[in-house]
Structure 1
Amino acid sequence: MHPAVGDGGRHRPHANGSSGGRETLEFVVRLLITRGPRASPTLLLKGSFILDDSDFWPFIISIVAASGILGGTLLVFADAGQQAPRLTKTEAVAEPENRKKKVVVLGTGWAAISFLKSLNSTVYDVQVVSPRNFFVFTPLLPSVTVGTVEARSITESIRKIMRKKKNVEYCQATCVHIDSLNKKVLCRPVVGCPEAVKGDFELAYDYLVVAVGAEPNTFNTPGVEQHCHFLKDVEDAEKIRESIVDCFELADLPIVTEDERRRLLHFVTVGGGPTGVEFAAELHDLVYEDLYKLYPQLIDYVNIVLIQSGDHILNMFDVRISEFAEEKFQRDGIDVKTGCRVLEVQEKAIVMKDKSTGKRIEVPYGMVVWSTGIGTRPLIIQFMKQIGQGDRRLLATDEWLRVKGCENAYALGDCATIEQRKLLEDISYIFTLADKDKNGTLSIQEFKEAMEAIRSRYPQIDLYLKRQHMKDVVRILDHSKGDQKEKQHMKDVVRILDHSKGDRKGKQHIEIEIEKFKEALSKVDAQMKALPATAQVAAQQGEYLAWCFNHWEKCAAHPEGPLRVRGEGRHQFPPFVYKHFGQFAPLGGERTAAELPGDWISIGRSTQWLWYSVYASKQVSWRTRALVVFDWTKRCLFGRDTSRM
């Protein structure tokens, strides 16, 4: 049998180069022996050969051929067994020029999804990390609490949303630490994993996008976390729905006393903002449209209370909407308690204080929903301490959404707040920029040109003009404070502005000193307010940041931002400017209030249909859009499902 096929003709792979070399060497030796002259065993053992003329030339040819095979084989295995040359440290960390930048996105909420959907992911390597593998249409959470809309109808898988995006990967994990110095995030899986894959893991990044949202703000009120429901996520809404049904079922038991029955059907909502008001309205509709048919004997025991620490509910809306909501709730029998601060939440009662009288009030309850604003997540608190923002409530960014004190990190949505730069901080630079003739004062024309040049850098200028119903930046001077002489001076300015547009000489005679300049701009800075923690703001921030990433190289070569007040040239990108498109406040009974652009207020049934159309169109996919519309239709035809699953 031939040595090469001695094992059934199979060619066995070698574990390493050295063992393969030994086997090949043995094969060649055996080849020399077997192909050599026929010698006696005794002569072979002695290693000597007796050749005759007939065996000489074939033997020589065999030796030459075998030597060539042996030499080539040994050379190959020597090269294979030799250790690869080691890279120097510089060579080891060198990156290819065409390597895509790694973008790590923390979160799958409004800001993150808006960023991911708008981002051109073909030029980046994107990694999404979130403990929640789906997106939730949060404005409809109050509808989920009472079964008007099903939970699955407002959720969409993150993998399904991103399935057509290239270079986007998702990890279902929670970020537990951000190492901004080494540009890494430490993550921990949240799904049930076998022991072999349990443990934390790190992800390196070139750019970090923090969009983890916020958590409910308890204001350190005792008993809130133990006894209250929150309404921040879809799981919260489902728990509230189950709790409502449980309260009615328990109250219907024959062993329950009258007082206990009344307590069980006492529903309290803490917080008079849009979420709290909408939940109270939805709960009222559930009770008096559906549950009264199933529990007619219990309806007289039901009481819905809305507690608000401020003087009015919906105080972020126009006063007309706030007043209408309070009047409607009063007609519907919803007890609105304004000017009350919750001191403690006990197991069966809420203790609060009336600010006007100082009296302590105890309100029994069967269920409490806490909706009083947002708090900071532990990850953000830890991150802020690391970058020198430990004394803040939210993560501070600049107008380009860049985290202050941290390179290549951005923050969006409810976890962050934009620190808009004030005009007074740059007043001397702006004045110098405006004073083109360097005479220490500004003419009206110089003031106007300076304001037009910097208004994109300082969005509060446009905000002030809008709120004061001004069309020209020069009219800012007309609202300056001062004595009668100064006021008359400003009236002359306005008169010149209106009637002497072509009279450049007249304009030059009216001069503005730096103190008057400061006074005028201080009123503009006073209009600055933090952006509300809404889905609308988060979505716009995500779209804006994606635009910046998509135009990075273009704007690096040709900046599109405003002029640099402290320096030369322009900023790379325009700053983020929030555009308010209005807001809704559903009030129950197929009535909704809306505050729309242009100071337009709409209240009633027609506004409810506008609410339906807007919220249906804003769904993240056609699947959720169809399901939501189907749920609304089903509720109109058959009522809400009150089953306890």
Structure 2
Amino acid sequence: MRFFSDFQRILSGYPAPAKLLAVFSVSCGGVIAYADSQSGEITSLQQNQKAMAKKRVLVLGTGWAGTSFLKDLDISSYDVQVVSPRNYFAFTPLLPSVTCGTVEARSIVEPVRNIIKKRKGEIKFWEAECLKIDTANKKVYCQSSVDANLAGNNDFSLEYDYLVVAIGAQVNTFNTPGVYEHCHFLKEVEDAQRIRRTVIDCFEKAVLPELNKEDQMTNLHFVIVGGGPTGVEFAAELHDFIHEDLLSIYPSVKDLVRISIIQSGDHILNMFDERISSFAELKFRRDGIEVLTGHRVLSVSERIINMKQVSTGENISIPHGMVVWSTGVGTRPVVKDFMEQIGQGNRRVLATDEWLRVKGCEDVYALGDCATVDQRKIMEDISVIFKAADKDSSGTLTIEEFKDVIEDIMIRYPQVELYLKNKHLFDVTDLMKDMNGSDKTEIDVESFKLALSQVDKQTKNLPATAQVASQQGAYLAKCFNTWEKCKSNPEGPRKFRSGGRHEFRPFQYEPQVLENPYGILSFFLTHMKSSSNNRYRHLGQFAPLGGEQAAAELPGDWVSIGHSTQWLWYSVYASKQVSWRTRFLVIGDWFRRFTFGRDSSRI
């Protein structure tokens, strides 16, 4: 198609073209003569020249995005370095299971060096925290996370040609007083281990002699702030841990334990299907878990949590033994500082274009929870699109002219495809009729604008989940792998069908039909496909609810609730482990829990 040949000049945000490299050598005779006498040195010289020719790729972070990028990256063309404050990758969806001993912490982590050693040691890893990104000088300033008492300097800097920011996010406290001082979080493995120790401490303190009943009830009141997937799953795990394992060894306090979920919205799991949300609330109330919807936390102290009931404005204070804060994600300080540098200080999260390149910053890419894709709006380009499609300059578009550009339009603007599917318009002629409201075979520019005026409302932001981060990492690695093979400028004309040459498609949301009778089949087919393509494929989401029951919302508007869904959860989470070692360890932990119960020691 020639559509984007005319259209390209108004689009911005494509990745920069691959940088050209030139390597010069001495004459052939000189090389041969030198090689005869100094073959070892010439080999070393060639290796040094080859190393110098490689572009330096610096990756910040070893979470879902960073690890996925490293696993799929072909490092033969790059000098790759990795900086992360932790020397392991953690399977974060199982953190709630770690808090109660259902799964051990070591079972869900894989050392980073185990992952990169498959690359024959060509990837260098530094256990350190990034303190500052200097894009002007293409430098990153870091501080070692290793014990400061050891010999040597802890501060160092690294230079890069391409920077991949996959730092992730931190807990969003909404500046609520007392949260950092008195609440537990559930973002890291260390967080889950601290929660596990605190739960045991609460029970051990509650059974001490001469402790009055009021203090016992305070110590055994576990509060979860946030009714999202993480908070709900932790509440379910904690309920099972208490009722299946702890009450049998602490029988004197079995009637004093309380679990409460505080949610500011009207329902827990409000990002799920309404059927799942209603079922979860009903099950929790049946299990004795108190669900306080429509309550906003005002402050947290050592033993009291203060909140306001939204509907009445009444202030309420309740005692607690432990509070777990699970209310979404916020931006890390180093990312905030970086955003200030590049003119994005007024945003809540780092903005990238559809190729995951940070807006306004060349050769820097961001993916995962620390960034969001800022999808271009079609109405910004609508006039130029029409002009490029109108090849005969007649002022109208025929069916043939429209057919020639519609596929490219849907790839460049995925919200168009979602809009068409939601309106059940799958044929070009049906779309033309919808545009001009008649059986005319041509449309003018005003009809074209009017018909697509509602399209941008379909634009979707990708959620901050492990699925998104992992698929973004695989996509960016694929782009890097094929960059040097690109025969033309990525900003040049685009033929999204087989054009005989590589071109970068933008990373976009995969539009799906909202009503699909084959939803479960679609899920399994999608689940088995490789995620290393240019579109985010939503594989569904799970919500374990305790008692060996779970809820799942899968593509195609397919909802499953019950015991069979819990076994589907087991199989999916086992298959998604990063290595066979962790896969066997997690399955072994599940088997141990079914056989011997959870470990109640404080270790």
Q: Normalized against structure 2, the TM-score is what?
A: 0.83
Residues 484-633 of structure 1 aligned to structure 2 (within 5 Å): 490=437, 492-493=438-439, 507-508=441-442, 511=443, 513-557=444-488, 563=494, 572-576=503-507, 577-633=535-591
Residues 213-362 of structure 1 aligned to structure 2 (within 5 Å): 213-362=168-317
8 Å CA contact 2:485, 2:502 repeated in 1? no
CA deviation after TM superposition for structure 1 residue 299, in Å = 1.6
Match in the other structure for 1:3: none
The reply on whether 1:122 has 2:76 as its aligned counterpart is: yes
CA distance in 2, matches of 1:556, 1:620: 34
CA distance in 1, matches of 2:154, 2:459: 45
Identity %, equivalent residues: 64
Q: 1:456 to 1:345 in 2, by over 3 A?
A: same
Task: Classify the secondary structure of the residue corresponding to 2:255.
Answer: helix
CA deviation after TM superposition for structure 1 residue 641, in Å = 0.3
Q: 1:100 to 1:240 in 2, by over 3 A?
A: same
Q: Structure 2 counterpart of 1:644, which letter? A: R
CA distance in 1, matches of 2:136, 2:413: 31
Q: 1:562 to 1:396 in 2, by over 3 A?
A: farther
CA distance in 1, matches of 2:196, 2:411: 47
Match in the other structure for 2:6: none
Q: Structure 1 counterpart of 2:188, which letter? A: D
The reply on whether 1:142 has 2:96 as its aligned counterpart is: yes
Match in the other structure for 2:527: none
8 Å CA contact 1:457, 1:563 repeated in 2? no
Decide which of 107, 117, 123 is 2:61's aligned counterpart: 107
Q: 1:477 to 1:229 in 2, by over 3 A?
A: farther
The reply on whether 1:159 has 2:113 as its aligned counterpart is: yes
CA distance in 1, matches of 2:552, 2:109: 25
Offset from partner CA, 1:341-369 (integer Å, 9 cap, x none): 11111221111111111111112111000
The reply on whether 1:635 has 2:590 as its aligned counterpart is: no
Match in the other structure for 1:37: none
Q: 1:314 to 1:411 in 2, by over 3 A?
A: same
CA deviation after TM superposition for structure 1 residue 440, in Å = 2.4
8 Å CA contact 1:454, 1:563 repeated in 2? no
Match in the other structure for 1:42: none
Offset from partner CA, 1:225-253 (integer Å, 9 cap, x none): 01100000000000000111111111111
Task: Classify the secondary structure of the residue corresponding to 1:238.
Answer: helix
Decide which of 169, 178, 192 is 2:124's aligned counterpart: 169
CA distance in 2, matches of 1:621, 1:334: 36
CA distance in 2, matches of 1:297, 1:518: 72
Q: Structure 1 counterpart of 2:87, which letter? A: N
Residues 363-374 of structure 1 aligned to structure 2 (within 5 Å): 363-374=318-329
Q: 1:194 to 1:241 in 2, by over 3 A?
A: closer
Q: 1:224 to 1:126 in 2, by over 3 A?
A: same
Q: 1:330 to 1:470 in 2, by over 3 A?
A: farther
Q: Structure 2 counterpart of 1:461, which letter? A: V
CA distance in 1, matches of 2:545, 2:110: 27
Match in the other structure for 1:403: 358
CA distance in 1, matches of 2:51, 2:87: 33
CA deviation after TM superposition for structure 1 residue 394, in Å = 0.8
CA deviation after TM superposition for structure 1 residue 555, in Å = 2.5
The reply on whether 1:458 has 2:413 as its aligned counterpart is: yes
CA deviation after TM superposition for structure 1 residue 449, in Å = 3.5
CA distance in 2, matches of 1:104, 1:137: 23
Q: 1:611 to 1:361 in 2, by over 3 A?
A: same
Match in the other structure for 1:44: none
Q: Normalized against structure 1, the TM-score is what?
A: 0.78
Q: 1:230 to 1:562 in 2, by over 3 A?
A: farther
CA distance in 2, matches of 1:312, 1:507: 48
CA deviation after TM superposition for structure 1 residue 520, in Å = 2.5
Task: Classify the secondary structure of the residue corresponding to 1:602.
Answer: strand
Q: 1:165 to 1:253 in 2, by over 3 A?
A: same
Q: 1:415 to 1:297 in 2, by over 3 A?
A: same
8 Å CA contact 2:487, 2:502 repeated in 1? no
CA deviation after TM superposition for structure 1 residue 466, in Å = 4.0
CA distance in 2, matches of 1:444, 1:557: 31
CA distance in 2, matches of 1:95, 1:184: 23
CA deviation after TM superposition for structure 1 residue 522, in Å = 2.8
Match in the other structure for 1:499: none
Q: 1:473 to 1:435 in 2, by over 3 A?
A: same
Task: Classify the secondary structure of the residue corresponding to 2:241.
Answer: helix
CA deviation after TM superposition for structure 1 residue 467, in Å = 4.0
Match in the other structure for 2:16: none
Q: 1:476 to 1:250 in 2, by over 3 A?
A: farther
CA deviation after TM superposition for structure 1 residue 195, in Å = 6.4
Task: Classify the secondary structure of the residue corresponding to 1:613.
Answer: helix
CA distance in 1, matches of 2:372, 2:589: 36
Comparing both chains, which one has the higher relative contact order based on Cα–Cα distances under 8 Å and sequence gaps of 6 or more? 2
8 Å CA contact 1:106, 1:130 repeated in 2? yes
Residues 41-52 of structure 1 aligned to structure 2 (within 5 Å): none
Q: Structure 1 counterpart of 2:247, which letter? A: Y
Q: 1:194 to 1:95 in 2, by over 3 A?
A: farther
CA distance in 2, matches of 1:191, 1:631: 30
Offset from partner CA, 1:70-110 (integer Å, 9 cap, x none): xxxxxxxxxxxxxxxxxxxxxxxx98796111100000100
Q: 1:519 to 1:300 in 2, by over 3 A?
A: farther
8 Å CA contact 2:486, 2:502 repeated in 1? no
Task: Classify the secondary structure of the residue corresponding to 2:411.
Answer: coil
Decide which of 157, 160, 167 is 1:212's aligned counterpart: 167
CA deviation after TM superposition for structure 1 residue 571, in Å = 9.5
8 Å CA contact 2:299, 2:305 repeated in 1? yes
Match in the other structure for 2:28: none
- Unpaired runs of at least 5, structure 2: 1-47, 508-534
CA deviation after TM superposition for structure 1 residue 442, in Å = 2.9
CA distance in 2, matches of 1:228, 1:641: 24
CA distance in 2, matches of 1:182, 1:353: 49
Q: 1:629 to 1:97 in 2, by over 3 A?
A: closer
CA distance in 2, matches of 1:581, 1:466: 19
Task: Classify the secondary structure of the residue corresponding to 1:201.
Answer: strand
Residues 356-505 of structure 1 aligned to structure 2 (within 5 Å): 356-472=311-427, 490=437, 492-493=438-439
Match in the other structure for 1:10: none
CA distance in 2, matches of 1:526, 1:564: 27
CA deviation after TM superposition for structure 1 residue 521, in Å = 2.0
8 Å CA contact 1:454, 1:562 repeated in 2? no
8 Å CA contact 1:561, 1:574 repeated in 2? no
CA deviation after TM superposition for structure 1 residue 642, in Å = 0.7
CA distance in 1, matches of 2:325, 2:492: 42
CA distance in 1, matches of 2:421, 2:253: 52
